[in-house]
Structure 1
Amino acid sequence: MPVRDRLLREFLAAIEKKEQQQLIELVEDNQPYDIAQILLIINAAQRKELFQHLPNWLLADLIQELDHEDQQLIISEISAKKTAQILTEMSSDDAADLVGELDDEKRQELLALLDDEEAIELRELLQYPENSAGGLMTTEFVVIPKAYTACEAIDKLRELAPDAETVYYLYVVDEEEKLIGVLSLRDLIVAGPETIIAEIMYERVVSVPTDMDQEEVARVMEKYDFLAVPVVDMSMKLVGIVTIDDAMDVIKDEVSEDIAKFGGIGGKEAGVQDLNIGAFDAAKKRIPWLALLLLIGIMSGNIIAQFEETLDQVIILAVFIPMIADMAGNTGTQSLAVVVRGLATGEFIGKDALRLIKREAGVGVIIGTVNGLLISVLVALWQQNIWLGFVIGFSLWVTLFFATLAGTIVPLLMDRLKIDPAIASGPFITTINDILGLTIYFTVATRFMEYLI
């Protein structure tokens, strides 16, 4: 029997019998993520019964494992007082994220139910933009004054560790609480008891400002293989840390958002969360892009209409229209994927743009030559017409060259204009390259019309 099915049966049995101790043991003996998924499977009445038997700290662990939408579902079923009690047990960054998703009235109600210190801490976190380092950070970390000895630092670590998000790094500050160094747990443990922290700390510490975009924060952590990165304000005072689990969530969300944009179905709201909304709402997110592409696509029909005389005289040209359009779209999308990935990972910066364009131009020439020669030979043998083979092959060669350049230059240009290059993806670049390919195809065919008749 699958683990989830077994857990579900055990949970339902314990809920029905109101066996509090068994419910607590089930939660403690299994992974929080697995139990959190059970919360979404059972009905509202069963969840209500479960919440009455589990302590708040366990509920906090479970709710922290859920996506924002699922968190909102859960807290909508419990009282504000109970929600406030659960928030108290959550890490500061997760609590701020949950509260930040609420409407203002509900948010203020919950903050009023918290004690002053916790409410102030949450309000400070909520003042930062959601997608910034400040909005991502937690204020629960271990900070050590530089004058401490290793023995004093270990005592401080024991005091702060139960509430800290991570203890792998200890952050060292001066008298003004400015970040001046970092110390690994390993270095602290092997240091002599009377060793001064300032003597063993690593001074070339990497930090991020509170207003840095969360995606940039994730890149910094990936670049340096950090488990956590400190966040500082304008005066270099340490105000929080971003941990690896939050960075991974950012990467997952950004990937989902980019994939959604590649499909022309919107951004953040259209990623994996698309499963949680109704058909009408999902359609609303997709219709604007499709309507725009429909209008642009009309141009393809208009191009064919402009060359109606050419088609009338050489009807066989119509057979190759889908092939020309498809190849243009495919090669443009390939280049687009390479560029968007490079921009997203930070591989392409400033001076790399021209080098990338030159390389992709070379790629366009090569694939255009190979595919152009191949289709020329095939068409010439099939139709017993060398000139028709030449027209199809030459048109494809030119089309693939320019389609490759379009797939490269368009996202680079949009990135330079501070527009998300993922928007210039999938359907958009394919439609543009369709128009480009048909224009080239019929122009070449018209130019060599006398040899085709």
Structure 2
Amino acid sequence: MERAKNEEQILRAIIHTVKEGQPDTLKKIIQELSPYELAMHYRALPKKRKPLFLEWLHIDELVALLENLSKTAQLEVLKIIGPLRATELLDVMKSDDVALLLTDLPEKEVERLIAEMRAEGKKAIRKKMKYPKKSAGRAMIDQYVWVHQSYSVEKTIAKLKHFKKYADFLNYVYVIDDQKRLIGVASYRDLLLCDLPCSIADVMTTDIYKVHELTKQSEVAKMIGSHDFLSVPVVNDEGILVGIITADDVLDIVMREANEDIEMLFASGKEIDFHTKPFVATYKRLPWLVLLLFIGLVSGSIIAKFEATLEAVVALAFFMPMIAGMTGNTGTQSLAVVVRGLVKEELTTKKTVKLILRELLVGIMLGIICGAVISIIAYIWQGSFTLGLVVGASLIATLIIGTLAGTIIPLILNRFNVDPAVASGPLITTINDILSLLIYFGIATLFIEKLM
């Protein structure tokens, strides 16, 4: 509570300094903020105060701000600060961050934004943009140090000191041959613990974990996460070193993928947060909801088809929401497990079969336990053993099917290289609603005479 109150006071102070035209006071406030806090307060600023706020920020502060904003907010900043300052900003940003920022923009818009950049930076961006969106090449950086295999350790250390501006990325030194092919890697520790007259070839390891420039970013994240690397080298078809991907870049990738999966999982649309305008949020959510609306009409037609059964035994209606809700919930749970697992695991046929069998067993156990409980409740509540049997058996069957649906659908999508998060929670829930009603009324119809 105290922290929230303090943040509110800081925001008010920022708004006041901008409103009263006090840039020196604003700079003092900003110096006390972390990049995350700076971005948080920027998002909360009234729209009319943002241009002057951004104008008073130093270029390094703008870079820090952009690193903590969504892509939509980043593009908003570029638009507000104007083409000249936007060019200056893009020139000092890391090429992989710029490539990510410009990813979904039309080619003409990209060219307009980078037109006035320095030739070297412009060339690097254009090269990055040629790689597929979620490839290692799009995420790699060129701020790394390489040495030739003929270097001594002393000469290698001297080169590392010369490139001290790359300090944030100097975790490993990469060794190349005459054709610039990656042949070895050495860590700082390796260099410090050896004798200076030693050759880099004697220190380096040739057992190199590396990725191809077209490797999926998610695969790179798995490798770095599994082996606790600080960075991993990226090579082309000829084995030539073309860049590196660092652990902090991988964290950004994982966070971005997780956010996209969560958005797709709940069909909420991309880039919707506390500050999204109502019209924009509606526009992004509407397509999913319209689709699910029409799918949901199938549920109504099923109920209409079994209208005679429902009229004969009105008590069946009491358990419809519970059956549909439980089936949808268990399907969404399985979906979340599969989507999360696919990020960490390389899927094989054996693992797929094992996962399906496990979820089938989970569905059976959940079904038996929940089915038994609801059977007893239905019997006590309605005084009908047959009704309890119908409701219990229906719940067992629907929980098994719901669990399998939540498991198999994302696996099928993944098999066809479609993001499994596309099988969103609402879609799985709607499909399971239809299946649960079919099963529930189907079983009830079989026992209709005894129910009456």
TM over 0.5: yes
Q: Greater shift after overlay, 26-35 or 389-398?
A: 26-35
Per-residue CA distance 1:130-170 (angstroms, 9 max, x = gap): 32111111111111211111110111001112145511111
Within the candidate set 68, 85, 94, 2:88 is matched to: 85
Mapped to 1, the partners of 2:116 and 2:370 lie a distance apart of: 69
Structure 1: runs of 5 or more not aligned = none
Alignment of 1:21-40 (within 5 A): 31-40=34-43
Q: Tell me by how many angstroms 1:258 deviates.
A: 0.9
Match for 1:170: what amino acid?
V
Within the candidate set 119, 123, 128, 2:122 is matched to: 119
Per-residue CA distance 1:256-277 (angstroms, 9 max, x = gap): 11111111234xxx24x44454
Q: What residue in structure 1 maps to residue 259 of structure 2? A: 256
Match for 1:411: what amino acid?
P
> What secondary structure, in the 3-state scheme, does the structure 2 residue paired with 1:195 have?
coil
Q: Tell me by how many angstroms 1:254 deviates.
A: 1.0
RMSD, matched Cα:
2.7
Mapped to 2, the partners of 1:383 and 1:416 lie a distance apart of: 47
Q: Is the 8 A contact 1:343 1:349 kept in 2?
A: no
Alignment of 1:117-266 (within 5 A): 117-163=120-166, 165-266=168-269
Mapped to 1, the partners of 2:56 and 2:169 lie a distance apart of: 30
Structure 2: runs of 5 or more not aligned = none
Q: Is the 8 A contact 2:43 2:275 kept in 1?
A: no
Q: What residue in structure 2 maps to residue 393 of structure 1? A: 392
Q: What residue in structure 1 maps to residue 320 of structure 2? A: 321
Mapped to 2, the partners of 1:161 and 1:67 lie a distance apart of: 30
> What secondary structure, in the 3-state scheme, does the structure 2 residue paired with 1:130 have?
coil
Match for 2:364: what amino acid?
V
Mapped to 1, the partners of 2:435 and 2:338 lie a distance apart of: 20
> Sequence identity of aligned pairs in percent?
40
Q: What residue in structure 2 maps to residue 46 of structure 1? A: 52
Change (3 A) 1:28 1:292: closer
> What secondary structure, in the 3-state scheme, does the structure 2 residue paired with 1:128 have?
coil
Q: Is the 8 A contact 2:137 2:234 kept in 1?
A: yes
Q: Is the 8 A contact 1:60 1:86 kept in 2?
A: yes
Match for 1:2: what amino acid?
N
Mapped to 1, the partners of 2:435 and 2:224 lie a distance apart of: 42
Q: Is the 8 A contact 1:91 1:165 kept in 2?
A: no
Change (3 A) 1:281 1:31: closer
Structure 1 position 342 matched with structure 2 position 341: yes
Q: What residue in structure 2 maps to residue 369 of structure 1? A: 368
Change (3 A) 1:451 1:35: closer
Q: What residue in structure 1 maps to residue 379 of structure 2? A: 380
Alignment of 1:283-294 (within 5 A): 283-294=282-293
Change (3 A) 1:107 1:390: closer
> What secondary structure, in the 3-state scheme, does the structure 1 residue paired with 2:349 have?
coil
Mapped to 1, the partners of 2:261 and 2:113 lie a distance apart of: 34
Change (3 A) 1:86 1:287: closer
Mapped to 1, the partners of 2:127 and 2:429 lie a distance apart of: 46
Q: Greater shift after overlay, 394-403 or 28-37?
A: 28-37
> What secondary structure, in the 3-state scheme, does the structure 1 residue paired with 2:387 have?
helix
Mapped to 2, the partners of 1:335 and 1:100 lie a distance apart of: 32
Alignment of 1:430-445 (within 5 A): 430-445=429-444
Within the candidate set 1, 6, 28, 1:2 is matched to: 6
> What secondary structure, in the 3-state scheme, does the structure 2 residue paired with 1:181 have?
strand
Change (3 A) 1:161 1:7: farther
Q: Tell me by how many angstroms 1:12 deviates.
A: 6.6
Q: Is the 8 A contact 1:68 1:101 kept in 2?
A: no
Match for 1:416: what amino acid?
R
Q: Tell me by how many angstroms 1:183 deviates.
A: 1.0
Structure 1 position 300 matched with structure 2 position 306: no
Change (3 A) 1:360 1:36: closer
Per-residue CA distance 1:44-95 (angstroms, 9 max, x = gap): 45335514xx3x4554444444433333222223343333333333223224
Q: State how many pairs are aligned.
A: 444
Q: What residue in structure 2 maps to residue 358 of structure 1? A: 357
TM-score scaled by length of structure 1: 0.89
Q: Tell me by how many angstroms 1:206 deviates.
A: 0.9
Mapped to 1, the partners of 2:39 and 2:300 lie a distance apart of: 52
Change (3 A) 1:353 1:149: same
Q: Tell me by how many angstroms 1:119 deviates.
A: 2.6
Q: Is the 8 A contact 2:222 2:343 kept in 1?
A: no
Q: Greater shift after overlay, 42-51 or 220-229?
A: 42-51
Mapped to 2, the partners of 1:26 and 1:194 lie a distance apart of: 51
Q: Is the 8 A contact 1:310 1:449 kept in 2?
A: yes
Alignment of 1:99-114 (within 5 A): 104-105=107-108, 107-114=110-117
